Amino acid sequence: MAKEFSSIEAPHSEFIARQKVFFTASASDGSHVNISPRSTDALRILRPNRVCYLDLTGSGNETAAHLKAGGRATILFCAFEGPPMILRLYGRGGAVSRGSSTYASLLREAFDSAEPAGARQIVILDVHLVRTSCGYAVPLFQYQKERASLENWAQSKGDEGLEEYRREKNVVSMDGLPTGIFDRE
């Protein structure tokens, strides 16, 4: 049932493109495991062994901290509609700080320079293993639409308010690990 691949192949890219949500799981030595849902609108396949997603401001910044500490991350997609399947991308990577030249370049090249309200960094994952499995136990759900809540919240805070919020909530992980959010190249 499970199959392993050394890179993202065309059928995997097509499956990913049909999904509406993905989950990022991350951890480093001695940290809590973190799992976060994200909209696939924010994800881009850069190469067969590299993906990135535009990360929006949230109440924590665990993935960035785990990757900065040399930790691992897994991105999981599962079919909530259509034929069942689960696809996982295993790897290591890092977070590219907003305001850096690398961020600006990735934003331009991967996201057509479109930066949503509340964007805080771009997370990159270098994928060393792609694994698919049946997904038979995943329930069927019907997609309705994206929520506007985070965008509305970010717009109401404005740039200065978001900066203050990130300094308060996003500089260290729940385990006290630095996230590097304000590191510049």
CATH number at residue 30: 2.30.110.10
Domain residues for 137? 3-169
Query: What residues contact residue 15 under an 8 Å CB cut-off, 6+ apart?
Result: 77, 79, 85, 87
- Residue 17: inside a domain, yes or no? yes
**Cα–Cα distance list, 52 to 82, 96, 154, 162, 167 (Å):** 25, 10, 21, 22, 23
Question: Average pLDDT for residues 165-185, to the nearest whole number?
Answer: 94
CA distance 141 to 18: 14
CA distance 117 to 105: 18
Confidence (pTM): 0.95
Domains identified in the chain, total number = 1
- Residue 49: inside a domain, yes or no? yes
- Residue 62: inside a domain, yes or no? yes
Length of the chain: 185
- Residue 53: inside a domain, yes or no? yes
- Residue 183: inside a domain, yes or no? no
- Residue 81: inside a domain, yes or no? yes
- Residue 176: inside a domain, yes or no? no
Predicted pLDDT of residue 1: 73
Q: In which residue are the tokens 């499970």 written?
A: 2
At 123-154, the pLDDT tens digits run: 999 999 999 999 999 999 999 999 999 999 99
